[in-house]
Amino acid sequence: MRYWIVIGLLYFLSICFVNCSSPEAKERKKIEKQEKIDSVALIYDKVKEDKKIADFMLKLHSKSGFNGNVLIAKGKTILYQNSFGWANYLLKDSLKIDSKFELASVSKPLTALGVLLLVQEGKLNLKQTVNEFYSDFPYEGITIEMLLSHRSGLPNYIYFSETVWNDPKKGMSNVDAMNLLIEHKPARYGSPGGSFHYNNSNYMVLASIIENVTGQDFGVFMKERIFKPIGMKNTAVLSKAVYEKIPTDVVGHDKVWRRSVVQNYLDGPVGDKGVYSTVQDLFLLDIALKEGRIVSQELLDSAYVPRSDAKKSLFSYGYGWRTFSPNAAQVVYHTGWWHGFRSLYVRDLTNDITIVLLTNMANGSLLNLDELYEILGMPILRQGAYNSEGEMVNN
C-alpha cells in the first residue's frame, strides 16, 4: 500500500512539474506578474492631482466643449486623469475612466506595431509587396514599407466605396474592401514610393496582410499578440462586419449634442480605425513600448524616423506615427477623427510625458492645447504655431 502511495505522489508531482513548466504556464505567470506591476502604475490619487492641469482641463471642458476622458503622465506616474461629460447624451450617462472610445486613426500606430512584430519574427519583410499576398491586387510595386509611411499612391477606399457599396447598413469587411479595389481598380493617387499622401487604404491593407500571413482575424491577432501581453484589458478591435451594432456604450456626436453619429458600413473595415480603447490602456501601451516588451528598440526607433515630406521642417510621418522634432527633441503622436470621435495620443520621448485625450464630441476642443503643453514644459504641438522654417510664430 505504501508503495502505491509513493508512486501516486511521484506521478502527481511530475504532472505538477510539467504543468508549471509548460510554455503556457510560464506565459500565465509572466502576465500575472505584469498585471501586478500595471496595477501600481494605474494608481491615481485625486487628492494629489496637478492643480494647473486640473484647472486647464476644467476650462477646456467648460469653454471649449471638451467631452471625454483624459490621462496625463510623467514617466510611470499619472499626473492627472479625469472624465468630463456624457457617454451618450440621450441617456445622460456619465463617462467613466474605463469607458471605451473609438480611437479612429490612433488605431494606426497599433496596426503598425502588429506589422513590426511580424517583421521581428521573420514572418514579414518591409520590402515585400502587396502582390505577394494578393496576386490579383491591381496596384503593383507597393511595399509594406510604403503602406506604413503613406507613400503607396493607393486610392482611398473610403471615398471610392461610396459609389459601389449598395447597403449602407451592412458592415463592409476588410475582405470586401480588398475585393472592391481588385474588382473596380479605381485610379491611383500617385506612384508607389512617391509623395506622402495620408490615406486610410494603407492601413486597411496592412490589417488584411496580417490576416493573410497569420491566418487569424485581425482582432484576434491584436488581442493575443498585442493587447493581452501589454495588459490592455479594455481594448478590442470592433467591426460592424462582425456586429450588427458595435457593442460600446460611448456614442460619437458631431459638434452638437443633438447629432449623434449612426454607425454605417464604413465602421466595418479595420486597421486604419476600429480599435476601441481607454486612456489607461493607452498609458500602459506607452510604458510597454518604452520597456521594449513587444518589439525591439531598434524596430521601434525605425518607426519614429521621419519618412514623409516634412511640414514646416518639424512635422513628418514614420511607421504609424506622426513625428514632431523641435530643437532636437523627439515627439511621436497620432490624431484621430471618425464618426463623432476625436482622439489625441502624444508621447514626448525626450521629456517622458504621455498625453491621452479621447472625446466623443467631434468639435475643435483638441485644437486648444497650447497652455497644456506650456504647463508640462514641452514644445507646443500645433503646426500653426510654426512658420515654414520651423520657427515659432506669434499668434
152 is catalytic: no
User: Can you tell me which residue has the cell 526607433?
Assistant: 301
Using the predicted structure, report yes or no on whether residue 20 has a pLDDT greater than 70: no
The residues spanned by each domain of the chain are 31-385
**Nearest residue to 178 (alpha-carbon basis) of 150, 198, 206:** 206
What is the Rg, in whole angstroms, of the alpha carbon atoms belonging to the chain? Answer: 23
Q: Which amino acid is at 105?
A: S
Marked catalytic residue, from 83, 99, 105, 239: 105
Render pLDDT for 242-300 as a digit per residue (tens, 0 to 9): 999 999 999 999 887 777 898 999 999 999 999 999 999 999 999 999 999 999 999 99
Q: Are strands 86-88 and 93-94 parallel, antiparallel or unpaired?
A: antiparallel
**Has domain 31-385 been given CATH number 3.40.710.10?**
yes
Q: Which amino acid is at 298?
A: E
Cα 122 to Cα 338: distance, rounded to the nearest angstrom? 33
Render pLDDT for 305-339 as a digit per residue (tens, 0 to 9): 999 888 888 999 999 999 999 988 999 999 999 99
Mean pLDDT of 59-85: 97
Residue 358, strand partner residues: 69, 343
Cell of 138: 491591381
3-state SS, the chain, equals CHHHHHHHHHHHHHHHHHHHHCHHHHHHHHHHHHHHHHHHHCCCCHHHCCHHHHHHHHHHHHHHCCCEEEEEEECCEEEEEEEECEEECCCCEECCCCCCEECHHHHHHHHHHHHHHHHHCCCCCCCCEHHHCCCCCCCCCCEHHHHHCCCCCCCCHHHHHHHCCCCCCCCCCHHHHHHHHHHHCCCCCCCCCCCCCCCHHHHHHHHHHHHHHHCCCHHHHHHHHHHHHHCCCCCEECCCCCCCCCCCCCCCECCCCCCECCCCHHHCCCCCCCEEECHHHHHHHHHHHHCCCCCCHHHHHHHCCCCCCCECCCEEECCCCEEECCCCCCEEEEEEEECCEEEEEEEECCCCEEEEEEECECCCHHHCCHHHHHHHCCCCCCHHHECCCCCECCC
Render pLDDT for 124-141 as a digit per residue (tens, 0 to 9): 999 999 999 999 999 999
Q: What confidence tier does 16 reach under pLDDT thresholds 50, 70, 90?
A: low
pTM of the model: 0.92
**Nearest residue to 290 (alpha-carbon basis) of 37, 75, 80:** 75
**Nearest residue to 302 (alpha-carbon basis) of 281, 321, 283:** 321
In Å, what is the CA distance from 386 to each residue of 143, 345, 392?
33, 20, 4
Lowest mean pLDDT among 2-6, 23-27, 159-163, 381-385: 2-6
Using the predicted structure, report yes or no on whether residue 1 has a pLDDT greater than 60: no
